[in-house]
Structure 1
Amino acid sequence: MSQPREIAPGATYMITRRVMRRHLLFRPDAAITQFLIYALAVSARRYGMQVHALCMMSTHLHLIVTDVTGVLPRFLQFFHRIVALGTKVLRTWEGPVWDHEAPSVVRLLTRAAVVEKIAYVLANPVAAGLVRHAREWPGATVDVDELGRGVLRAARPSAYLDPKKPQWPEEVTLPLSLPPTIDQDGADGFRQEVAAELERQEAQAHATMHQHGRCFLGAERASRISPYERATSYEALRERNPTFAVGREQGDAWRIAGGAVRAFRASYRAALERWRAGMRSAVFPVGTWWMRVFHGVIVTDVVLSM
């Protein structure tokens, strides 16, 4: 049985989902980029999600979002389904699009975590040896200067989506929001922090490439490679699936957050045991999602601090 996850309104997350067997189905051409931005804009508006950053790699997708109303599972279900179905049409692909593993959902609990993970998302094409600088990536992504003030736009793709249905407007816009921990007065400083962290991660990637005697593929070649090929570079087995991040050198925050996660899981499992024993008055901890939505269990209003 998987570990229960707290779904808290207002929480910020880094979300990652991978393509089946590392096929290059999200090769960064114009058609797939348009479809992904359109699907994300429609999905975010439908479920009230604030989007802060994104990067569509050829084999996986990264998002940084804030779940304003606590409906993250609904958003992911809808968004990932639309992306998969559209990709199958665009690529004439008959098999599954997404990897069999569940998406990675990491809650970002501190400003440091938000800065580091946004920079990580933007630096992904550099770390993968595709382009020398994040701004050169031709796929769906954002620039540091756009954080909190940029707007992505996409016309309705001709593939898969029915123009007669009102849920698919002719054109959509996706404003890039500031994370809730950052106010407008601190926006410039926040962007500077992300830029500095991005520069650090790019330099680290350059050093690694040089150490191994490798050259960057380049944006043009990355856009022309066959989407039916598979990535052949080494990828470590995913032994860990973190629940939260607090950033480097945040030991106290890490211990507090770890304690809160353990407390939530213990409270949830104790309530679940009582509920399974027939006690329908069992009270589940705040943040319980599945049992509340599908079984209508009682949820306390006492918040376990993170």
Structure 2
Amino acid sequence: MTRPRRHLPGQVVAITRRCFDRTFYLRPDGTMNAIALYVFANAAQTYDIKIHALVVMSNHIHLIITDVKGRRSEFMRDAMCLITKARNEDLGRKDYLWEGGSYRETLLLDRDALERKLLYTWLNPAAANLVERAHQWPGAIILPCDWGTSIDIPKPDVYFGRKSPELARFTPQPPPGFDASSLDTLTAHFEALLADAEDDLITTRENENRQVLGVEKVLATRPLSKPKTASRRSKINPRFASRNAALLVAAIARHRAFLTAYDHERQRWLKGKKRVEFPCGTVWLRRNSPVKCRDPDAPEAGMACTM
């Protein structure tokens, strides 16, 4: 049994989901881009998710979101399922698309962690030596220049039936914690940070005499192929992100207390005890069983209102 997740309204989270066996099922093309944007737009509207950044790489995705109502588990469930069905129909296959287990998430505890994760997400195509700059990536991507602008995505030509809306509309939102800045100022700030980071990557690449693959070769990659190199992905999956040691210690302590309380109440619930009250943030049982959960405590680090 997997350990329970603790999802609270207002948490700011970095999410990653990888394809099975690192296969390039999500390789950019017109259909794949339309599927990803259409699905995420509809799911974000359904579950009240604010999307701040998105990059759909050839074999994994990155998202930075604010989970307004604590429903990102349902958001990811629906989005991953629909992307699988639509892309499989497009590729003429019937099998797993995503790696085993669930998506990975990291709670961003403060503004510094949020800035670093946003840059990490946008820099993925450049850091992988696929293109020089993020805006050149031919796959689905949401950058600072997209914040505050409504995007209309027509229904893809595969899988989605007559009951699916003909048009999905959503508006990428700037990240929390910058209320004192105008949208133009905030956009310019992050575009400058991104450009500086891209310049550093370009300089490093030139010094090491490495080349980018380029858009043409990215688009020519076969969707059923996979990397020839061994995976360098770390097995460490940080649950929280912050350089502030006190914030990290407090977040870990809250999570441990949540697990302890959850296990205690679950054992009582399995024994048929009455007046069982699960800790706030319980996801699966709250959604699938008529259980009561405690109300949220005061806002804590990692929530949009505390950024």
Q: Same fold judged by TM-score > 0.5?
A: yes
SS in 1 for 2:55: strand
CA distance in 2, matches of 1:182, 1:4: 32
Alpha-carbon distance, 1:233 to partner: 3.1
Q: Which amino acid aligns with 2:31?
A: A
Partner secondary structure for residue 274 of structure 1: helix
Partner of 1:181: 177
Q: Secondary structure at the match of 1:33?
A: helix
How far apart are 1:66 and its partner, in Å? 1.6
User: Which structure 2 residue ranges, 5 or more long, are not aligned?
Assistant: 302-307
**Taking structure 1 as reference, are residues 237 and 172 closer, same or farther at Cα in structure 2, changes over 3 Å only?**
closer
Q: Distance in 2 between matches of 1:185 and 1:201?
A: 22
d(CA) in 2 for partners of 1:94 and 1:116? 37
Alignment of 1:166-205 (within 5 A): 168-183=164-179, 185-199=181-195, 201-203=197-199, 205=201
Letter matched to residue 146 of structure 2: E
- The aligned counterpart of 1:222 is 218
**For the Cα contact (< 8 Å) 1:37–1:152, is it kept in 2?**
no
In structure 2, relative to structure 1, the CA distance for the partners of 1:188 and 1:266 (3 Å cut) is farther
Instruction: Report deviation, 1:200.
Output: 5.2
Are the counterparts in 1 of residues 144 and 174 from structure 2 also a CA contact under 8 Å? no
In structure 1, give the amino acid aligned to 2:121. Answer: V
1:77-127 alpha-carbon deviations (Å, 9 max, x no partner): 111110000000111122211111311111222111221111111100011
Task: Please name the residue that 1:156 is paired with.
Answer: 155
Q: Is the 8 A contact 1:37 1:153 kept in 2?
A: no
1:279 to 261, 264, 273: 273
1:111 and 1:183, CA in 2 relative to 1: closer, same or farther beyond 3 A? same
Distance of aligned partners of 1:185 and 1:237 in 2 relative to their CA distance in 1, 3 Å threshold: closer
Deviation at 1:208, TM superposition (A): 5.5
* SS of structure 1 residue aligned to 2:264: helix
TM-score by length of 2: 0.89
**Residue 265 of structure 1 aligns to a residue in which SS?**
helix
Structure 1: which amino acid aligns with 2:210?
R
Structure 1 residue 235 corresponds to structure 2 residue 234? no
User: Are 1:269 and 2:263 counterparts?
Assistant: yes
Match of 1:101 in 2: 101
What 5-or-longer segments of structure 1 have no aligned partner? none
Structure 1 residue 197: Cα displacement: 4.2
Alignment of 1:48-127 (within 5 A): 48-127=48-127
How far, CA to CA, are the matches of 1:213 and 1:234 in structure 2?
21
CA distance in 2, matches of 1:28, 1:217: 14
Amino acid at match of 2:54: L
Deviation, 1:215, is 1.4
Instruction: Tell me the distance in 1 between the aligned counterparts of 2:40 and 2:61.
Output: 11
**TM superposition shift of 1:202:** 3.0
Q: How does 1:17-36 map to 2 (within 5 A)?
A: 17-36=17-36
Q: Would you say how many aligned residue pairs link Structure 1 and Structure 2? A: 300
Change in CA separation of 1:197 and 1:244 when aligned onto 2, cut-off 3 Å: farther
Give TM-score scaled by structure 1 length: 0.89
Q: CA separation of 1:200/1:2 partners in 2, compared to 1, >3 Å: closer, same or farther?
A: farther
Task: Specify whether residues 26 and 271 from structure 1 end up closer, same or farther in structure 2 by C-alpha distance, changes over 3 A only.
Answer: same
Q: Deviations over 1:268-293 (max 9, x none)?
A: 22222332333232222111121222
Residue 248 of structure 2 aligns with which residue?
254
Seq. identity, %: 29
Alpha-carbon distance in 1 for matches of 2:78, 2:198: 33
Query: Is contact 2:279-2:294 (8 Å) kept?
Result: yes
**Aligned in 2, Cα 1:233/1:134: closer, same or farther, shift over 3 Å?**
farther
